[in-house]
Structure 1
Amino acid sequence: MSTRLYTYRRVGLSLQEASRAFAAVAEPLPAIAILYTPEKCYLVRFTEGQFMNAQGQPLDISRVYEARIFNENAELRWLNDPSPAHCHQTVLLAESDIGDKLGDVWQNDSRPIVATLSQTYLLWGQGTGGTYNGWSTLAMARVGALQVPVPNVPDKANVLLHSIEYLEERDYGNVVVFDERLIGLKMDSQSEEPN
């Protein structure tokens, strides 16, 4: 287990520039991105510097106002600043010192951790059994259909978003979660078996 969480910050990068920095530290592992636009939340693959949708086409990122790109190596968080100053906020998190891959224009910090906790979040919808090109469809009457970059999700199965919570010791010996890093999407092994 790592004993530190490394955080790198930079202001003013576009999403495309920030994603290039992520690619430099996160590869060779594949990555997933959660992209928020005013109209929709997208789950996409991040491959070779491109955000690819379920049809294998690059996604237009011009309306994205928040992004999280992640894999087991690192997570990038990006927040759009719509003001004329374009002070977009970019943060990279990793359990290893990745500063040499980023250069010295990034503000960096590292914090000691006392422990980590694995965490999962259930995505809305259940598998429909439909799979295409390494993607599966989750659906639920209340929310409709959602394409997820997880292959072969069977009918009625669930998909989980996995993360790691980082714990540090504070005043008087109290231990708190001070940050969380997304690491991947996987099918829930405890999902209800199809009938």
Structure 2
Amino acid sequence: MTTLHARAAQGVTLPEALAATAFPTGIALLSAPHAHTVARVTDGHCRTREADPYDLSAVFEARVFDGERELRWLCDTGDRGRAVLLTEDETLLPATFPEPVTPLSATAALTAHYLLWGRPAGGDEEWTVLHTPRIGTLTVPHPRPGPELRLRLVAREYISTDPRHGNSHVSEERLLRIETVPADPQEDTHV
């Protein structure tokens, strides 16, 4: 049995949520009307290869993670929204998030992988530029991997079992990290 704990806060800005959760390092997936950005989080601030600090004013949804916890923030009015922090370690929950969330007791926890689109097309020791002809480029805070490697997002899925009928399902997912994986030599490189 694995327990996922959470606390929430309503009416907070994304910078306030980042300050309250005090991520020393991490990765942020930031959605804005004009772009989807992957940023590095350092001491509660987001930065990209092009901008330090990154302007969060247009972001309407964010997921920030560091392997131990995940912050989710969704804007609902102006620049304010609801923030929720998820973790298996209850001591990492911020006291400044006043709303307790009922803990999730999972019967199992599984690792899930999501291959990031695009192949490494540039970068350095801190950033990888992924490219695919149909979509364009995306810069990711991960050292540029070798030519036979790709990047993937790693998540933890929490499996619950319905007590009435016994069916199991993924009841929650928490993002963990970005890592390298060998490229599939059979994969179509023209996609």
Is TM > 0.5 for Structure 1 vs Structure 2? Answer: yes
Q: Are 1:102 and 2:75 matched, yes or no?
A: no
Q: Secondary structure at the match of 1:168?
A: strand
Written as runs of structure 1 = structure 2, the 5 A alignment for 1:66-81 is 66-81=61-76
Q: Secondary structure at the match of 1:173?
A: coil
How far the C-alpha of 1:192 sits from its partner, in A, is 4.5
Which runs of no fewer than 5 residues in structure 1 stay unpaired?
A: none
Distance, in Å, in 1 between the alignment partners of 2:30 and 2:83 is 14
Higher share in strand: 2
Q: Are 1:32 and 2:27 matched, yes or no?
A: yes
Q: Which deviations, in whole Å up to 9, do the C-alpha atoms of 1:126-149 show, x marking residues without a partner?
A: 112x22241011111001111111
Q: Are 1:174 and 2:167 matched, yes or no?
A: yes
Which of these residues, 154, 158, 165, is aligned with residue 162 of structure 1?
Answer: 154
Calculate percent identity across the aligned residue pairs. 32
Residue pair 1:127, 1:156 contacting (<8 A) in 2 also:
no
Q: Are 1:7 and 2:2 matched, yes or no?
A: no
How far the C-alpha of 1:106 sits from its partner, in A, is 2.9
Q: What is the root-mean-square deviation of aligned Cα atoms in Å?
A: 2.0
Residue pair 2:115, 2:152 contacting (<8 A) in 1 also:
yes
> Paired residues, what number?
184
How far the C-alpha of 1:21 sits from its partner, in A, is 2.1
State the match for 2:15 in structure 1.
16
Distance, in Å, in 2 between the alignment partners of 1:76 and 1:127 is 27
Which of these residues, 167, 178, 182, is aligned with residue 185 of structure 1?
Answer: 178
Amino acid at match of 2:36: C
How far the C-alpha of 1:169 sits from its partner, in A, is 1.5
Written as runs of structure 1 = structure 2, the 5 A alignment for 1:39-78 is 39-55=34-50, 57-78=52-73
State the match for 1:131 in structure 2.
123
Tell me the TM-score normalized by structure 2.
0.88
Q: Are 1:114 and 2:107 matched, yes or no?
A: yes
Tell me the TM-score normalized by structure 1.
0.86
How far the C-alpha of 1:121 sits from its partner, in A, is 0.7
In the superposition, relative to structure 1, how do residues 100 and 164 fare at CA in structure 2: closer, same or farther (>3 Å)?
Answer: closer
Residue pair 2:7, 2:94 contacting (<8 A) in 1 also:
no
